[in-house]
Amino acid sequence: MISALIDLNRADDDGLVAQLTSQLRSLIATGRLGKGRALPSSRRLASDLGISRNTVTYAFEQLAAEGYLAASHGRRPVVTVEGGANGDGMGAAVSGARSAKPRLAPWASQLTRADWPMSYQAPLKPLRPGHGDAREFPNEIWARCLRRSAVRAARRELGPVNRTRLCEVLAHYLATSRGVRATADQILILPSAQAALTLIAVSLIAPGDEVWVEDPGYPGAAAAFRASGARVTGMKLDEQGMQRMPGAAAPKLVFMTPSHQHPTGRLMSLARRTEFLRSSRPGKTWIVEDDYDGEFHYDSRPVPALQGLDGHGRVFYVGTFSKAMTSDIRLGYLVVPPALVGTLEVAQRHIGLIASSNIQEALAEFIADGHFLAHLRRVRRLYHARRDHLVEGLQRHLGEVLTTEVPSGGIQLVARLKRGRADQAAVKRLAEAGVVTRALSSLALGKPRDHGLLLGFAAWRENEISAALRTMAACF
């Protein structure tokens, strides 16, 4: 008897019609009421369930409209779809719990592999790495730039993508502050640095291509290249930065963070940069230089970008405003070797990785009027002091258990465990005590060689760093 399969709750906020409809739908979708089965008349079912006939009639009408039932006046409604495992897909889509695992394209199944540490979702609390201090951002000035840009929007002609004032302003800024050699039309404005890596990967990487990345390194890069089918090999680091694999055939692409290696903060030596450039044959091996936090240098003048050393159009230069401004600005950029500009622009448009022209215009003004450099000068001083505060505190309170690598710039540092390899357990313990860190071993490509903690300093005030250090000292 169908009424025995239905359990209506009169106290439920969902009305009786909605409950009855949903339960009948699910009985059909799961195959318990099979195709061709005649349901009781509305009068009969209403009486069996002790509800009004109208309630049943409305439910039948709804299911008929959705295509589950054929109902005609004076006749008992009949189930019209096959549910359950042998169903036509309609039922499976509705039942959810019993739906078959969708078959993904290789790209998505690579990206959603459970063993990849790409999605780092820790609370934004001291000493979470990877951020600048959003509280120090000059919001009033930025709001004025945004407002002016919005007001001008109606008069602005929407020209071709990447022919914006921001590209002009950026070309000048990158030449003077980072030594990047590029014309404005080599610059693609994108929503993030990660978008730039994805764009490069989908444009250049074919299944089986060899890609070298730093190990430990930035998981987002390995993920983007692997998703396109690359064989990604992790390169060890020494004090000069990423090493080349002796005797190995040249890869299709090398990804590196030479200004401040992610995560160690090491600066790649000039000798090593030249070595990588010399061994990259134009048109055969591409280098991707990710300068995600190159604006922050504390101990000496910044070393110019590797891109500026290349005279053969082999280097992509990737940057982002998510560290130097706020992560929510959603603006990054990619300087593309001349031979690939057209191809990457087509790919960019097709994937739809286009940034808002309003925000671009506001940022162009923010940079051109000197606010960006003024902001950088101010936070550079702050972050420098915060780095020193953290380094000094780590040495004083945790010198027995951790060895600190002092980065010459950037927004985070690595403190290695002096004994043992239990960095993941330490991260868990610290998180329970309220201090957010990241395990160095979670940034390894294969079997971790390094064990320690990645600690952010830029985003946290000195008193917050001190409090976190006290908690850490009590945990070790």
Ligand X SMILES: Cc1ncc(COP(=O)(O)O)c(C=O)c1O
Contact 389, 248 (CB under 8 A): no
User: Judged by CB under 6 A, does residue 262 bind ligand X?
Assistant: yes
User: Judged by CB under 6 A, does residue 241 bind ligand X?
Assistant: no
Give whichever of 55 and 194 is closer to ligand X, judged by the CB atom: 194
Q: State in angstroms the smallest separation of the CB of 291 from ligand X.
A: 9
How far, in Å, CA of 181 to CA of 86, rounded?
61
How far, in Å, CA of 454 to CA of 120, rounded?
12
User: Judged by CB under 6 A, does residue 193 bind ligand X?
Assistant: yes
In angstroms and rounded to an integer, the radius of gyration of the C-alpha atoms of the chain is 29
Stretch that binds ligand X, among 186-194, 307-315, 343-351, 360-368 (CB under 6 A): 186-194
* Residues 332-361: x where in contact with ligand X by CB under 6 A, - otherwise, as a string: x-----------------------------
User: Judged by CB under 6 A, does residue 290 bind ligand X?
Assistant: yes
Candidates 330, 344, 329, 238; CA nearest to 286 is 344
Candidates 426, 476, 423, 472; CA nearest to 452 is 423
Exactly one of 149, 194, 326, 357 binds ligand X (CB under 6 A); which one? 194
Give whichever of 393 and 410 is closer to ligand X, judged by the CB atom: 410
String of DSSP letters for 394-444: HHHHHTTTEEEE--SBSSEEEEEESS-S-HHHHHHHHHHTT---EEGGGG-
User: Judged by CB under 6 A, does residue 162 bind ligand X?
Assistant: no
Give whichever of 220 and 234 is closer to ligand X, judged by the CB atom: 220
Residue 182 corresponds to which tokens in the numbers above? 């590029």
Residue 139: its H or E element = helix 139-152
User: Judged by CB under 6 A, does residue 437 bind ligand X?
Assistant: no
How far, in Å, CA of 181 to CA of 175, rounded?
6
Q: State in angstroms the smallest separation of the CB of 455 from ligand X.
A: 14
Taking the mean position of all CA atoms in its chain, how far away is CA 330?
Answer: 11
Stretch that binds ligand X, among 49-57, 187-195, 333-341, 441-449 (CB under 6 A): 187-195
Contact 95, 26 (CB under 8 A): yes
Q: Biggest alpha carbon distance in the chain?
A: 88
Give whichever of 133 and 290 is closer to ligand X, judged by the CB atom: 290
Candidates 87, 84, 142; CA nearest to 324 is 142
Q: What is the footprint of ligand X within residues 375-434 (CB under 6 A)?
A: none
Exactly one of 21, 30, 257, 348 binds ligand X (CB under 6 A); which one? 257
Stretch that binds ligand X, among 247-255, 319-327, 380-388, 468-476 (CB under 6 A): 319-327
Q: State in angstroms the smallest separation of the CB of 445 from ligand X.
A: 14
**How many residues sit close enough to ligand X to count as binding (CB under 6 A)?**
14
Q: State in angstroms the smallest separation of the CB of 444 from ligand X.
A: 15
Exactly one of 83, 126, 130, 294 binds ligand X (CB under 6 A); which one? 130
Give whichever of 68 and 366 is closer to ligand X, judged by the CB atom: 366
Stretch that binds ligand X, among 2-10, 146-154, 189-197, 366-374 (CB under 6 A): 189-197
Contact 254, 395 (CB under 8 A): no
How far, in Å, CA of 277 to CA of 273, rounded?
6
Give whichever of 194 and 360 is closer to ligand X, judged by the CB atom: 194
Spatial strand order in the sheet of 315-320: 187-190, 332-335, 315-320, 286-290, 253-256, 210-214, 231-235
Exactly one of 322, 326, 348, 437 binds ligand X (CB under 6 A); which one? 322
What letters, b where the CB count within 10 A reaches 16 and e where it falls short, cover 278-317?
eebeeeebbbbbbbbbbbbbbeeebbbbbbbebeebbbbb
Q: What angle do CA 240, 255, 314 make, to 5 degrees?
A: 100
Give whichever of 29 and 224 is closer to ligand X, judged by the CB atom: 224
User: Judged by CB under 6 A, does residue 286 bind ligand X?
Assistant: no
User: Judged by CB under 6 A, does residue 292 bind ligand X?
Assistant: yes
Q: What is the footprint of ligand X within residues 203-222 (CB under 6 A)?
A: 218, 220
Exactly one of 162, 264, 320, 360 binds ligand X (CB under 6 A); which one? 320
Give whichever of 62 and 192 is closer to ligand X, judged by the CB atom: 192
Stretch that binds ligand X, among 140-148, 188-196, 389-397, 415-423 (CB under 6 A): 188-196
String of DSSP letters for 118-134: ------S-TT-SS---G
Taking the mean position of all CA atoms in its chain, how far away is CA 52?
Answer: 53
User: Judged by CB under 6 A, does residue 294 bind ligand X?
Assistant: no
Q: State in angstroms the smallest separation of the CB of 219 from ligand X.
A: 9
Q: Which residue ranges make up the site for ligand X (CB under 6 A)?
A: 130, 192-194, 218, 220, 257, 262, 290, 292, 320, 322, 327, 332
